[in-house]
Structure 1
Amino acid sequence: MYENGNEVKKDINNAIYWYKKSAKQENTDDDYAYGCNNLGYCYENGIGTDINNQKAFESYQKAADFGNISGINNLGWCYGEGIGTNINEQKALELYQKAADFESITAIFNLIECYYEGIGTNINKQKVFELYQKAANLGNSTAQYSLAWMYENGTQFNLSNEYIFGKSFQNKNLAFELSKKLANDNYAYGYNNLGYCYENGIGTDVNDQKAFELYQKAADLGNSYGINNLGYCYKWGIGTNVNKQKAFELYQKAADLENTTAMLNLIGCYYDGIGTNINKQKGFELYQKAANLGNSSAQYSLAWMYENGSEVKKDINNAIYWYKKSAKQGYTDSQQNLNKLL
């Protein structure tokens, strides 16, 4: 209560005092473990005290020893990041798994990262998918969103919002239902996903008007994908009249939020003079920005420009650099062009 200002004025010093009291009283296991975990968090993050990674680690260890789920997960985090102890990725994985078995959402997401990146274990994208399912079934909206994308696109949706392998999990009806649930809960990305379902007939009939309205709701909540998709509607007259000036403005707004899909759409506007004057230099700058943000298509286009001296001085080394970046993400055209240059 003192830490969060719940029913009382926020007072970090008082919070620390009572966490310490709780952590010293071993007669009530649950309270003791809870106090140890919270005290560890304070030491780790410098809340009401100086940062002390060693004390944080020791407090999390005590909490974990008494079966506190958050303590187990946080102890895993210490081993994974080397907080108050040496890095031990295998130990981190084991602790995340232990906490995830007790349905800790945070631990499940930490475990997802381990299996996706190969931290303390082999890369296992089937396991990643199963863990997203588990978190979604426990009601976590972020997992439901990721899972909806997987089902919607027939692919697994990874941590950096790029698509990865497979069409084994395609289930368009489930994608629609998950998106509908998220929209009903007033999540911006739920509105956006549901709009996409209506626009493309995924698990439902095509309904351009509903798609437009849902993208508008997502955009009103500041969702960059909703803003971009609303721009797309205005450009092509999906559920509304064509308004290329409005499309340009919305693409720009989403691009300002670092949405790389919007950047590519904005590039098209600058190259073709849609809603603005032709400005190929601006288009080139946007390719650079999107490429630096990890968009594989932009990386390919930038590499091609450097290879052919289009809008920029020819530079084969830069071309190879960007083809490699794009090819690493599975962009086949980049790999083909790279093979020709090497």
Structure 2
Amino acid sequence: MSRETISEKRQVQFIKWTKPAAHQTLPQQVITFLRNELILGKHVDHISASLLIWMKTNKHEINEIVKLIDKYTVNSAKKDSDEQDASIRWLLGFIYQYGVGTDEDEIDAYDYYKESGNTYNYLGLYSLGRCYQTGYGAIKETDMAERFYRGSAAQGFTPAIYNLVDMYASEGDGEQAFMLLKQTADQGDSTALCKLSSWYSRRKGVAKSEAQAINCLVKAVDLGNPIAMCEFGVRLLYGQGVASDERRAISLLRLASVFEIDTAYENLGNCYERGIGTDVDLREAIEYYRLAFRTARNDTDKTRYSTAIASVKAKLRVRTPGNKEFQSIEWMQPVHTSQSTLVSLETIPFSLSNRLNLQHANINATSFTNTIPD
């Protein structure tokens, strides 16, 4: 397994989309990347935190992006009417909301989102919906949030559809939420299939059906969805609703781990710790648990992974008493950070209609400032 760090992996990815293409300016490439991350189903706090991590080693590039965006916005001859300009204004809103290369500014973020939304830009409408849903930069107002989400969803932007599903479900309208979700899944949307699998499995708004849950999950796996790979891998590993197949389970978990999914790392760590489908390798187990810690989505998960690391290290010390090599391994030392270490999942190489996943966790990226356990 590669010892490549999370930030290094993110750096490689960001370098790819920051290289100017013949038909796109640098800001347009950033917009495309962020849009695709949202289509993947990633929470915006995950995405913004990824940008912040990348900035640690790529400050020059991010500053150039901000300069280009500012220059384009000031010099644009078609303000508020050009689709390209509207998307860049949305990006400025994103930059000000999450403090990417500048100070966070709630008012400026909302204003840029509004300018973008005024042109019926699907990204601007989506972010305005989030503003009104969460009360960011505006008074919290469900009706307004639904209105903007609908405008974005009407243009086929699936993140807006999922937020509508979540809104309907939270308001007690499970039937409407399920119908919208199933309609999207029937169109071959892998994120919808993953979410639908969860609904069938947890009896959420629909009669519980493990057969339907597994069927949806298998379809999402066939479409290349990394979350589905992780969830189906776990089922295969422990025989949950399907026949146990440890070899295939580990294969799927490894594929999912490429996209930095914490539960994939956790289960691989468990395999190496306990010798499930592979030989026992405590050092490898520790590294997987550390990667799970680095990509954890909340403090509860971070605590669980930290406990796992401590437990395996205790086992390793018992097996090799007085082993100085163990204490000197560089990759096992604490990683100190001055910013959030929260990382989003990687993008995955298949068509945009299927580049989707499951999670919509409510995450505050600024809370993830813990160092990795030593």
Instruction: Give the structure-2-normalised TM-score.
Output: 0.55
Percent identity, aligned pairs only, is 20
1:209, 1:238 within 8 Å by CA — same for their partners in 2?
A: no
Which residue of the other structure, out of 299, 302, 307, is the alignment partner of 2:302?
299
Whole-angstrom distance in 2 between the partners of 1:198 and 1:293:
27
Residues 240 and 151 (structure 1 numbering): CA distance in 2 closer, same or farther, change over 3 Å? farther
1:57, 1:78 within 8 Å by CA — same for their partners in 2?
A: no
- 1:180 positional shift: 1.1
1:303, 1:318 within 8 Å by CA — same for their partners in 2?
A: no
Other-structure match for 2:230: 228
Structure exhibiting the larger radius of gyration computed from Cα positions: 1
Q: Match of 2:85, as an amino acid?
A: G
- 1:179 positional shift: 2.5
Residues 263 and 201 (structure 1 numbering): CA distance in 2 closer, same or farther, change over 3 Å? same
Q: Match of 1:56, as an amino acid?
A: Y
Other-structure match for 1:56: 72
- 1:312 positional shift: 8.0
Other-structure match for 1:192: 194
Other-structure match for 1:289: 291
Deviation string, structure 1 residues 60-101 (Cα, Å, up to 9, x no partner): 3x3126x4465345346458759xxx9886345324214324
Residues 91 and 170 (structure 1 numbering): CA distance in 2 closer, same or farther, change over 3 Å? same
- 1:186 positional shift: 1.0
Deviation string, structure 1 residues 301-320 (Cα, Å, up to 9, x no partner): 35446778746899xx9699
Q: Does 1:136 align with 2:153?
A: yes
Deviation string, structure 1 residues 87-136 (Cα, Å, up to 9, x no partner): 886345324214324432111244467679998x3796969964546533
- 1:227 positional shift: 0.6
- 1:226 positional shift: 0.8
Other-structure match for 2:256: 254
Q: Match of 1:74, as an amino acid?
A: I
Q: Match of 1:57, as an amino acid?
A: T
Q: Match of 2:231, as an amino acid?
A: N
- 1:59 positional shift: 4.2
1:199, 1:208 within 8 Å by CA — same for their partners in 2?
A: yes
Local SS of the residue matching 1:64? coil
2:129, 2:149 within 8 Å by CA — same for their partners in 1?
A: yes
1:305, 1:312 within 8 Å by CA — same for their partners in 2?
A: no
Instruction: Give the structure-1-normalised TM-score.
Output: 0.59
Structure number with higher relative contact order (C-alpha < 8 Å, ≥ 6 residues apart): 2
CA RMSD of aligned residues (A): 4.9
Q: Match of 1:71, as an amino acid?
A: D
Report the count of equivalent residues. Answer: 269
Counting only pairs closer than 5 Å after superposition, residues 1-342 of structure 1 correspond to structure 2 as 56-60=72-76, 62-64=77-79, 67-68=81-82, 70-75=84-89, 77=91, 90-111=107-128, 121=137, 130=146, 131-132=148-149, 135-136=152-153, 139-148=156-165, 150=166, 168-169=170-171, 171-296=173-298, 297-304=300-307, 310=314
Whole-angstrom distance in 1 between the partners of 2:143 and 2:294:
30
